[in-house]
Amino acid sequence: MKVTFLGTGTSQGIPIIGSTHPVCQSHDERDKRLRVSILINYNNANYVIDCGPDFRQQMLREKVTHLEAILFTHEHADHTAGLDDIRPFFFRQGDIPIYAHKRVISELKRRFDYIFQTENRYPGAPAVEINEVVNNNPFTANNLEFIPVDVLHGNLQVFGYRFKNFAYLTDVKTISDQEKEKLKNLDVLVVNALREEEHYTHFNLEEALAFVEELKPKKTYFTHISHLLGFHADVEKRLPENVHLAYDGLTLEI
């Protein structure tokens, strides 16, 4: 199995348009962060978690030629706004399977009504196969089993996903002890760490580190990073052993 970080930035991406912040002006490629998403390649099938506004650029960069499933964490635009760009996959493969909470599916129907229309469809519009994700109901997409992990992003429910001994959690602020049970014995944990300062809907660095300390995965990568966290190279040096900042294009072979 291969997991590639398609994007590791918070909602505006880094650099932020028009920003003169030093991190936004950094020449280190690892400080350039598209909106969060990962690509999973397993048994010749490609899965993405989330489909944000940088989806097209991410698919081109990683030379992805087919897509077997899209799993959504939640409906915020930085995680969903790229859905129209599944068109090249749809033209070659037909309806693209999507997996999401029923609330997220209704949001997508509202925002991308033409994708879900059944009558008088515009010939160029893509179509999707809808799969509802229900907490405590693991599901198999192609040959890979996913366990939904229910977390809270402020007041908003968000799904993280565990597959094999890998867990991908983004936009987490709180998680119940019951859901933490699903995150035992991880080889790799990916979790959000926004910045040093506290935030109402995201783990800051301190909270993310405490979460790692509690779960004790073999390795951890932080994602959904703000320019306010600092330069990649500086932050990386301050992290404990086996804890790293993810960066765009990083690939893990598992």
- Residues in touch with Zn ion (CB under 5 A): 78, 171
Nearer to Zn ion, 39 or 90 (CB): 39
Nearer to Zn ion, 220 or 226 (CB): 226
Instruction: Measure CA 79 to chain center.
Output: 7
- Least distance CB 227 / Zn ion (angstroms): 15
Nearer to Zn ion, 9 or 68 (CB): 9
- Least distance CB 171 / Zn ion (angstroms): 5
- Least distance CB 228 / Zn ion (angstroms): 15
- Least distance CB 216 / Zn ion (angstroms): 26
Nearer to Zn ion, 4 or 37 (CB): 37
What's the CA dihedral at 143, 178, 154, 23 to 10 degrees?
-60
Residues paired with residue 166 on neighbouring β-strands, in sequence order = 163, 188
Tell me the two tokens of residue 195. 């910045």
